[in-house]
Structure 1
Amino acid sequence: MAPFRQLEDQGEFILYDPQAIPQIDKRWFQLEYWQNQQALLGGAPGRGTSVFIQTPAGEAVWRHYHRGGLPGRFIKDLYLWTGLRTTRAWQEMHLTQKLLALGLPVPRPLAARVQRLGGVYKADLITLRIPKALPLSDYLPQVDAAEQKQALQAAAITIHRFHQAGLNHTDLNPRNLLIQADNKKVWLIDFDRCQLNQPEPKTAQRNLERLYRGLIKVDAHQAGVWYDWLQRAYAQQ
């Protein structure tokens, strides 16, 4: 896997995969650029602003970093600048590449952009879109119990692989687990603020408990059954 390349222009930094994108410039991070090329494919729900775009590398997801919770009400998309390597986009781009190199089911990172604005910055990330995939939060309510169980068992196997690699996914929820209905393959996305360390059972359990709270938000009546299926499959790995 080739190393990323970096561009810099007046406080704006772009990190990109030269194998997937031979050429890139800051227009890639401007909505009008994709609109003018009729390459804007739609949007995705979530905390940040995500849009689907048709790039030379294939369909991709462009996500602008937004704060969640109470801080997001006041400083929507600004983060404290402590150096380029510590920015959210730089960290997530490199972590996703490491996970990809380990053979884990993650979207290929294509490019990241950081705009420094004095003591703060804004950031964006572009990754390849997983074809024909739905968030688990959308998939589960659409299918019968047998398919729900199959999906959750597949999710458990995927999550266990990441935990064995030492990933602490700080926002493990049903929106960040994508399932391809045709082959039941489950992917994990959104590695903002996640860490790769030595495997730690307590950390893994906290991740799973967070996922359970997310399942409750999808369907409070079914969440207990769903989580039981997932836990049983996870324990068998």
Structure 2
Amino acid sequence: MRLTALQQKNSLILHDADSLSDAPGSHQLSPPKLAHPVSPALFSADYWRDQHLIVGEAPGRGSALFLQATPDQQWVLRPYRRGGLAAKLSEQRYLWLGAERTRAFQELRLTAALYEQGLPVPTPVACCVTRHGMTYEAALLTVRIPGARALASLLEVGEADAALLRRVGAMIRRFHQQGLDHIDLNARNILIAPDATPWLIDLDRCRLRESGKWQTANLARLGRSVAKFSPPERVEAIMATVHEGYREGYSAP
């Protein structure tokens, strides 16, 4: 994976040069399947809506969109949105401190690094940062994991069995061994593919660190999230099984 930056007026696009060509006017996946302009428009919901290529939307703040980017591949377009009190000042603008310090550049580079290590993260495609004086707004494109469902959805309908929960624990351990501090480790950010493989998404503001108390804090954050989607009497058992997989590195199907 080769990350390359492309400047267009007041926007800067960081993309995987192996899958998204910066040739003027189009991108091409190899082999060529469908062309789109390599420009800030590629990160606009209006662009995809005009072509009737929006096929769904994810829940939560930011309204991530599912796009039919090619006949056999879907992408996820996620704009960066603020939450809490900061959103009252500006929902989508952030303070400009340089391209490499933007949330989009940092997340794309981190995702690409983990992807190159063979860890289960979405394939990164590109991000775009558009500067407005002392502020910027941004969006991220990744490849959608076909048929994946959020762990939260499986918990709500009672379809997360012990084997799956152990795999979730083992998956978290793999990331922790590589030093990933996922500050928002919740049941919506863990996706389960049709083959029961867990994937980790949404690495915004995450970082690589030396081992420490943050690993326990990650699991505690997941426990609080699990409590929102599971019967109260099941939460302790669910998390005990996740911890079991975490300790043992369980991965068998």
Deviation at 1:197, TM superposition (A): 2.4
Of residues 176, 190, 193 in structure 1, which corresponds to 2:189? Answer: 176
User: How do 1:120-139 residues align onto structure 2 when only pairs under 5 Å count?
Assistant: 120-139=135-154
Q: Which amino acid aligns with 1:34?
A: W
Aligned to 2:55, the other structure's residue is in SS state strand
What is the percent sequence identity of the aligned residues? 38
Deviation at 1:26, TM superposition (A): 1.9
Aligned to 2:84: 69
TM-score scaled by structure 2? Answer: 0.87
Deviation at 1:142, TM superposition (A): 2.1
Aligned to 1:86: 101
CA contact (8 A) 2:8 2:39 kept: no
Aligned to 1:49, the other structure's residue is in SS state coil
Structure 2: runs of 5 or more not aligned: 22-26, 28-37
CA contact (8 A) 1:49 1:65 kept: no
CA distance in 2, matches of 1:140, 1:65: 27
Deviation at 1:52, TM superposition (A): 0.3
TM-score scaled by structure 1? Answer: 0.93
Kindly provide the CA deviation profile for residues 140-167 of structure 1, in whole angstroms up to 9, marking residues without a partner as x. Answer: 22235xx422221111011000000110
Deviates more, 1:203-212 or 1:223-232: 223-232
Kindly provide the CA deviation profile for residues 166-201 of structure 1, in whole angstroms up to 9, marking residues without a partner as x. Answer: 100010000000001x32100000000101123x14
Aligned to 2:218, the other structure's residue is in SS state helix
CA distance in 2, matches of 1:26, 1:115: 8
Aligned to 1:52: 66
Deviates more, 1:216-225 or 1:77-86: 216-225
CA distance in 1, matches of 2:212, 2:165: 20
Aligned to 1:4: 3
Deviation at 1:106, TM superposition (A): 0.3
Aligned to 2:213, the other structure's residue is in SS state helix
Structure 1: runs of 5 or more not aligned: none
Does structure 1 residue 167 correspond to structure 2 residue 173?
A: no
CA distance in 2, matches of 1:26, 1:201: 39
